[in-house]
Amino acid sequence: MNVARRLRFVTIAAAVAAVGPLLPVSLQAQAAPAAATVARLVAEPARVTLRAGESTPVKVTAYDANGRVLSDATVRVTGPRQAMRYSNGKLEAFRAGSDTATATAMGAQGPITLDIPVIVSWPALAKLTMTADSGRLYTGVALGHKIEGLHADGSPRYGLVATWRSSNAAVAEVDRFGTVTALKPGAVTITAEAEGVTASKAYTVVANPVASIALDIPEDVILTGQVVRLKATARNASGTPVSDAPITWSYTYTPVDTTVAPGGPGIVDWGRFTANHPGRFTLLAQSGGVVARKVLEAKPRDVVRRISVTGRGTINTTATSDLWPWTGKDGRDYVLVGTWGGDGYGMVFDITDMNNIVKTDSIKIDARTINDVTVSPDGRYGVLAREGASNRINGVVILDLANPAHPKIASTFEQELTGGVHNMFATNDHLFAISGGQKYVIIDVKDIYKPKYVSEYQHPNARIHDLWVRDGIAYSAQGGVGTVIVDVGNGKWGGTIEKPKLINVFPINSGHEIYPYFQKSTGRTYLFIGDEEMNRAGRVWEGTNYRNTLGQKGGIAQTSGGYVHIVDATDPMNMRKVGRYHLEDYGAHDIIVEDDVLYQAYYDGGVRIVDVSGELMGNLAEQRREIAVFKPYDPQGHTANAPFVMNAMPWKGQILFTDFNTGLWAAKLEPKQKAITP
């Protein structure tokens, strides 16, 4: 949950290629300086062509200025995390398109890079499946259809475009999006074709019996972002319900001020409606030629509060990574803080008085970077994740917190943890540690001086970056496949801590951060899933060229992209993406939700506090749900005046957060000011 957690380091010798997610080049170079001066890099092959789902060897050789091979040089090769990855010495492609893998090594004047074009095509389409919206095709009714394509190995085809045909256009016509409109009674077959593969569905159109539509929407006035259930009953001329009559919903919108009318003011989806902006919305329910209307007034959500800094644990000699607060056995409050590129120092601060934060100790371990830190719920032990250890095995360092102000090292655990530990999750008895982005290892820590390997879970064709365990279920963000949910002791799906069992996978184009949240007011479980993209190429604002100075004192402010996806996972076997928290010019990182408030580390967008009460739908950033925002500017920072918030957590009524360039901060939300009435 820090910069190092968002990096996937792949150390290879000069003659070995390693292709993984797109990472900041200079960050990687800082983690392990090259042993020799590199003048140029050569890739074999220089250009890669393959199909999605295939892999191929790639070799990169480093040469000095005299043309000699540098066998000791450290070369890293990276690529877009959703397009490709490196595993077992091969480049594996996930999607079709033209991408670039970049090889990097340190030269005399800075990074030496080599771009490797990667051209990926799709394998042949093997199967096409057509599904239709629910309801019967009565005259005058329009039904949506969609197609799904599969390859021979069962993998899905994304971005598939089909040609649609109707066998009798006088009975029903179909548009290029698969929407079928019934015109008169009769038989008709709808066919979709893509790449020579077809799927068909037959209909018998009958006369539409619907004479009226009765609406059941009790709301008249709502707040922006409030979800309204769309309920309506179609009836025939005698008043009897027509249960299989499809009802289509839409709306018209009148803004409060027509001079600032927004685009996309509301959303209709999944039998629900929400208003992104204030104004008057007329909901329209239609079945054939019958229409019913309901007018709603949407008022602005008023949640804004001031945020004030109360204290700091300044760190400006090195970059700062993660944090984790806890109450010590002595009754005082502490926070464990990691550093990135800081020669393996973890720091302990006493935060009992958030107005007077005091550093109590530092713990030096064999690491270049402490990717992640965590503390058990009972405050018995803490853990520092290692990256760049001298033995290159890395692993985790377990701390005895009996004296919380001055922890001591209890043990080091390395079994199955090669390649660096980027993230962890601690329970009182077990530690879940991510190993090299490949899998998570479960460790028995009942005796922290003698930790024991219990089990592990590795999902095929995926790159894991983050996980969170709740009620015996492990939720993990895994690039290449999406969100992976595993029973690790809940038991409902047959899993145990010794034998984890897969529950389900939710395919989503995000694989960095994840937080599962149970919302008491609705009984729903929401997954907040963060992107984290360090490359803004192709956007209107492509960001700064910070990579050549990142990790050094001073330099250029970092920039980022990506946002937070919101998935309804109440039923893990039937999940659905319902919303997002999206700010275009910044990038999302760590996520915590407590008491219907989202505490979001949004990198160069600062720490952002967001109202996530009630059922969620749409973009929270457009719905006036933001409570407060703070950007930690500091002219004395590791990089001056360059906010880059790594982690944010609520703690006993206040907020703790770490900033990459300035260290630890504490803040509080001020009471909401009462409106002044005349």
Question: Coil, strand, or helix at residue 621?
Answer: helix
pLDDT reading at 502 higher than 90: yes
pLDDT in tens, 436-446: 889 999 999 99
For tokens 């409109």, the residue is 181
Name the band, by pLDDT with cuts 50, 70 and 90, for residue 674.
confident
Tokens in use for 29?
């170079």
Tokens in use for 300?
């602005």
Indicate whether 412 and 283 sit together in one domain. Answer: no
Mean pLDDT, residues 194-222 taken together: 97
Name the β-bridge partners of 395.
none
Positive or negative, the CA dihedral 314, 317, 321, 325 is: negative
pLDDT in tens, 618-670: 999 999 999 999 999 999 999 999 999 999 999 999 999 999 999 999 999 99
Indicate whether 184 and 235 sit together in one domain. Answer: no
Question: Coil, strand, or helix at residue 662?
Answer: coil
- pLDDT at res. 32: 39
- pLDDT at res. 676: 63
- pLDDT at res. 29: 31
- pLDDT at res. 673: 79
What are phi and psi for residue 89, nearest 5 degrees?
Answer: 80, 10
- pLDDT at res. 5: 36
Residue 272 lies in a domain: yes
pLDDT in tens, 306-337: 999 999 999 998 999 999 999 999 999 999 99
Q: 362, 341 in Cβ contact below 8 A? A: no
pLDDT reading at 458 higher than 60: yes
Q: Residue 395: give the domain boundaries.
A: 309-458
Indicate whether 358 and 448 sit together in one domain. Answer: yes
For β-strands 172-174 and 163-166, DSSP reports them as: unpaired
Indicate whether 14 and 112 sit together in one domain. Answer: yes
The CATH number covering residue 227 comes to 2.60.40.10
Beta carbons within 8 Å of 501's beta carbon, 6+ residues apart: 486, 487, 493, 494, 495
Residue 676 lies in a domain: no
**First vs last C-alpha separation in the chain:** 48
Q: Chain centroid to CA 326: how far?
A: 26
Q: The sheet that has 482-487: what strands, in order across it?
A: 463-470, 473-479, 482-487, 501-506
CA distance 142 to 190: 13
pLDDT in tens, 561-606: 999 999 999 999 999 999 999 999 999 999 999 999 999 999 999 9
What are phi and psi for residue 152, nearest 5 degrees?
Answer: -60, -30
Last residue of a domain, which of 121, 144, 167?
121
Indicate whether 336 and 446 sit together in one domain. Answer: yes
Mean pLDDT, residues 491-513 taken together: 94
- pLDDT at res. 547: 78
Q: The sheet that has 307-314: what strands, in order across it?
A: 307-314, 663-669, 654-659, 645-651
The rounded percent of the chain whose pLDDT value lies above 90 is 76
The CATH number covering residue 343 comes to 2.120.10.30
Closest by CA position to 107, among listed 71, 62, 42, 68 = 62
Indicate whether 287 and 341 sit together in one domain. Answer: no
pLDDT in tens, 393-431: 889 999 999 999 999 999 999 999 987 898 999 999 999
Element (H, E) at 26: helix 25-31
Closest by CA position to 91, among listed 107, 78, 74, 105 = 78
For β-strands 618-619 and 576-581, DSSP reports them as: parallel
Other C-beta atoms within 10 Å of 560: how many?
24
Indicate whether 322 and 440 sit together in one domain. Answer: yes
Closest by CA position to 291, among listed 141, 119, 480, 475 = 141
Question: Coil, strand, or helix at residue 3?
Answer: helix
Closest by CA position to 101, among listed 35, 69, 56 = 56
CA distance 454 to 465: 20
Q: 140, 184 in Cβ contact below 8 A? A: no
Residue 199 lies in a domain: yes
- pLDDT at res. 658: 98
Residue 562 lies in a domain: no
CA distance 380 to 41: 49
Average per-residue pLDDT in the chain?
90
pLDDT reading at 33 higher than 60: no
pLDDT in tens, 362-400: 999 999 899 899 999 999 999 999 988 888 788 999 999
Residue 25 lies in a domain: yes
CA distance 672 to 289: 49
Residue 66 lies in a domain: yes
CA distance 383 to 353: 24
More confident residue, 132 or 22: 132
- pLDDT at res. 35: 44
Helix runs in 515-644, H state only: none
Mean pLDDT, residues 520-545 taken together: 92
CA distance 217 to 231: 6
Q: 493, 499 in Cβ contact below 8 A? A: no
- pLDDT at res. 251: 95
Indicate whether 192 and 85 sit together in one domain. Answer: no
Indicate whether 223 and 242 sit together in one domain. Answer: yes
pLDDT reading at 11 higher than 70: no
Name the band, by pLDDT with cuts 50, 70 and 90, for residue 85.
confident
Burial of 212 (0-12, 13-18, 19+ CB in 10 A): middle
Last residue of a domain, which of 121, 153, 171?
121
Residue 387 lies in a domain: yes
Q: Chain centroid to CA 644: how far?
A: 17
Q: 645, 659 in Cβ contact below 8 A? A: yes
Indicate whether 62 and 193 sit together in one domain. Answer: no
Last residue of a domain, which of 406, 424, 458?
458
Least confident piece of the model among 57-61, 311-315, 451-455, 674-678: 674-678
For β-strands 618-619 and 290-299, DSSP reports them as: unpaired
Residue 490 lies in a domain: no
Indicate whether 200 and 227 sit together in one domain. Answer: no
Tokens in use for 307?
């945020």
pTM, whole model, 2 decimals? 0.86
Indicate whether 277 and 329 sit together in one domain. Answer: no
Question: Count of domains in the chain?
Answer: 4
pLDDT reading at 96 higher than 60: yes
CA distance 302 to 396: 45
- pLDDT at res. 258: 62
The rounded percent of the chain whose pLDDT value lies above 70 is 92
The one-letter code for the residue type at 252 is T
Name the band, by pLDDT with cuts 50, 70 and 90, for residue 27.
very low
